[in-house]
Amino acid sequence: MALKLMQIAPHEAENPTELSLRQAFELLEPKLRPPFSLTIPKPQEYSVLNKAILYGVLYECHVGKTHIKHLHAIVTDGYGLFVSFLTKVVNELYVKLLEPQKCQLVWVTKELIDVLAVGVDGLLVCLLRQIVGGDFSDGNLWLCFEMVNILLTKWDCLLEVESMILTSGLYAYLRLLADHCRQLSNPKLEALKQLEIDFCIKVLKEQFPLCLKIGRDLVRLLQDLVHLPKFRAIWKDLVLNRGEFKTLGFSGIAQLYITRTPSQYMLLRITPEMEAQLRFLLTHVKFGSHKRHQAWFAKKFLCEPNRETLIVDIVRFICCAHHPPNEIIQSDVIPRWAVIGWLLKSCTKNYVEANAKLALLYDWLFFEERVDNIMNIEPAMLLMVYSIPRYIDITHTLLEFLFLLMDNYDVEHYDILVKGVSSSFSVCVKKGVIRSLDVLTSCDALSPILKERLGSFLFGTKFEISGKLKQAHLPGHFERVKNSTCMETPTPSPESMR
């Protein structure tokens, strides 16, 4: 009997996917040796044969090339079925695969790119999602290296297969690079960081029209990297020299602001296992019974050193990629705003907390009812309202941060930010997220300065921004480096680089 592909504990049940592949291999093993049959298999036989070959490729590393030649000989569907089985392996088994099998998995992925296999772009996305943010273990860094190497060396093939895989890679590696740059004394990262920089710059310079499809979150990710010379140059061109991108119809950074980022990008920095646990928490766990689930989630995904940066990605995922139906919203299942409140309270580093609040409020800055989804801004609104009065510090912090963003994020496009925040408040009332804004404007627990600022903003009266409000809790990455538009300046502070 063939050995298994992965390591499992004695008490664990066999994985159905792994079992299915192994049984197919055991059934057809004699037929997997040359010379191969030239008979065209029937549909059911074809499915079993694909499973058997896949298991052979992953397990019998020494004859992997022979199995691939067999696959080339029998394929009738553009490799679609084989890729679908391999994708299932990545999603369900990758974490527990043995090291040789992980190497084989990456190797066969390269082979499938070379033949322009149907669905290989989805397979690559699934592999990108297995890279864990804030994880500096050898295995995770190996996968980081292999994937960025694939994206660079298979560039032309990927453009032919599905060019959007390059923007998925760009989104993933911009976010990973920000984490990697905070590790200043890790020599293992230097070569990897250079590859990540080379790939991201190549996409931005050579495929900028595709990059526009990422939308406003491209700006959010770039702002964490402008301390790197190559990204600073990209940033300056984005703000001051848009003609450098040679993209017909690109009108400047405001065009990115008003483009909502598709939700599939938010999944890229959440592993499938993490996504499943979050969706379970937000779909089945009752409010009041949630603390042990949250504690379990934190222990599994957030307690390792440097993993706290995942909170930013989780907040963005909850806001933009998990939109529960009305029956869940109206039930006693723990709501999104409560989970986000817990995540914000879990932040121990200032730069993580600032970036998490930015992730929560980002769509508020550019909200346009015609193109944006109210579900993206609903959690922040409800978190502010339902934190009164017991957790008034959260209400105060979020409102204050929102006004700081509006005043400082991009002074050259202040009108866009004011319009976005104003629309967010008004649409939340219009659509019934809250009954009235009186709960905020009449809240005695808010500081007088903040309460006055809120009232003046909502009701159009003139307000002199207090120096005290301007200075309070200003996040490090809005530190100015030039006295020009603030869009040139949100660079990470020295504190955020520790």
Average pLDDT over every residue of 281-309 = 94
H/E element, 419: helix 414-430
Let me know whether 173 and 193 are in one domain. Answer: yes
How many other C-beta atoms lie within 10 A of the C-beta of residue 444?
9
The structure tokens listed for 344 are 């914000």
Lowest pLDDT segment from 5-14, 43-52, 275-284, 436-445: 5-14
How many other C-beta atoms lie within 10 A of the C-beta of residue 462?
5
Let me know whether 241 and 292 are in one domain. Answer: no
Lowest pLDDT segment from 237-251, 297-311, 459-473: 459-473
In this model, does residue 478 exceed pLDDT 60?
A: no
Let me know whether 168 and 285 are in one domain. Answer: no
Let me know whether 233 and 289 are in one domain. Answer: no
Band (pLDDT 50/70/90 cuts) for residue 495 is very low
The confidence score (pLDDT) of residue 1 equals 42
Let me know whether 316 and 337 are in one domain. Answer: yes
The confidence score (pLDDT) of residue 288 equals 86
Read off the pLDDT of residues 138-183 as tens digits, 9 standing for 90 and up. 999 999 999 999 999 999 999 998 889 999 999 999 999 999 999 8
In this model, does residue 490 exceed pLDDT 50?
A: no
The structure tokens listed for 424 are 């967010």
Are the C-beta atoms of residues 370 and 420 closer than 8 Å to each other?
Answer: no
- The upper half-sphere exposure of residue 48, i.e. CA atoms within 13 Å in the direction of its Cβ, equals 14
Let me know whether 128 and 164 are in one domain. Answer: yes
Read off the pLDDT of residues 202-259 as tens digits, 9 standing for 90 and up. 999 999 999 999 999 999 999 999 999 999 999 999 999 999 998 998 999 999 999 9
Which residues, in sequence order, are bridge partners of residue 333?
Answer: 286
Average pLDDT over every residue of 253-280 = 97
- Residue-wise DSSP of 134-199: T--SHHHHHHHHHHHHHHHHTHHHHHHHHTHHHHHHHHHHHHHHHHHHT-TT-GGGHHHHHHHHHH
Band (pLDDT 50/70/90 cuts) for residue 496 is very low
- Domain containing residue 164: 16-260
How many separate helices (H) and strands (E) can be counted in the chain? 26, 0
Are the C-beta atoms of residues 95 and 20 closer than 8 Å to each other?
Answer: no
End-to-end CA distance of the chain: 51
Q: Which residues contact 84 (CB under 8 A, 6 or more apart)?
A: 119
141 vs 38, higher pLDDT: 141
In this model, does residue 461 exceed pLDDT 90?
A: no
425 vs 459, higher pLDDT: 425
The confidence score (pLDDT) of residue 464 equals 44
Q: Counting Cβ atoms within 10 Å, is residue 415 exposed (0-12), middle (13-18) or buried (19+)?
A: exposed
Q: Is residue 484 part of a domain?
A: no
Determine the Cα angle at 474 with ends 471 and 476, to 5°.
135
Let me know whether 357 and 305 are in one domain. Answer: yes
Q: Is residue 11 part of a domain?
A: no
Rounded Cα distance between 158 and 163, Å, is: 6
Q: Is residue 487 part of a domain?
A: no
The structure tokens listed for 360 are 């929560």
The confidence score (pLDDT) of residue 185 equals 77
pTM higher than 0.85, yes or no? yes
Rounded Cα distance between 229 and 438, Å, is: 47
Let me know whether 175 and 309 are in one domain. Answer: no
The confidence score (pLDDT) of residue 3 equals 61
Q: Is residue 361 part of a domain?
A: yes
Let me know whether 237 and 287 are in one domain. Answer: no
Average pLDDT over every residue of 302-322 = 96
Three-state SS letters, 74-86:
HCCCCCHHHHHHH
How many other C-beta atoms lie within 10 A of the C-beta of residue 185?
5
Provide the 3-class DSSP secondary structure of residue 399: helix
Provide the 3-class DSSP secondary structure of residue 274: helix
Q: Is residue 469 part of a domain?
A: no
Let me know whether 292 and 243 are in one domain. Answer: no
Let me know whether 403 and 442 are in one domain. Answer: yes
The confidence score (pLDDT) of residue 161 equals 86
How many other C-beta atoms lie within 10 A of the C-beta of residue 393?
11
The confidence score (pLDDT) of residue 494 equals 28
The residue from 227, 260, 293 where one domain ends is 260
Let me know whether 198 and 298 are in one domain. Answer: no
Q: Is residue 189 part of a domain?
A: yes
H/E element, 459: helix 448-459
Q: Nearest-CA neighbor of 178 among 43, 331, 355, 377?
A: 355
Average pLDDT over every residue of 342-362 = 97
CA distances from 244 to 215, 240, 482 (A): 19, 9, 21
Rounded Cα distance between 205 and 225, Å, is: 16
The residue from 260, 290, 310 where one domain ends is 260
How many domains, the chain?
2
In this model, does residue 282 exceed pLDDT 90?
A: yes
Q: What percentage of the chain has pLDDT greater than the value 90?
A: 84
The confidence score (pLDDT) of residue 481 equals 28
Rounded Cα distance between 451 and 447, Å, is: 6
Are the C-beta atoms of residues 149 and 195 closer than 8 Å to each other?
Answer: yes
The confidence score (pLDDT) of residue 92 equals 95
Provide the 3-class DSSP secondary structure of residue 358: helix
Q: Is residue 488 part of a domain?
A: no
The residue from 197, 229, 260 where one domain ends is 260
Q: Is residue 482 part of a domain?
A: no
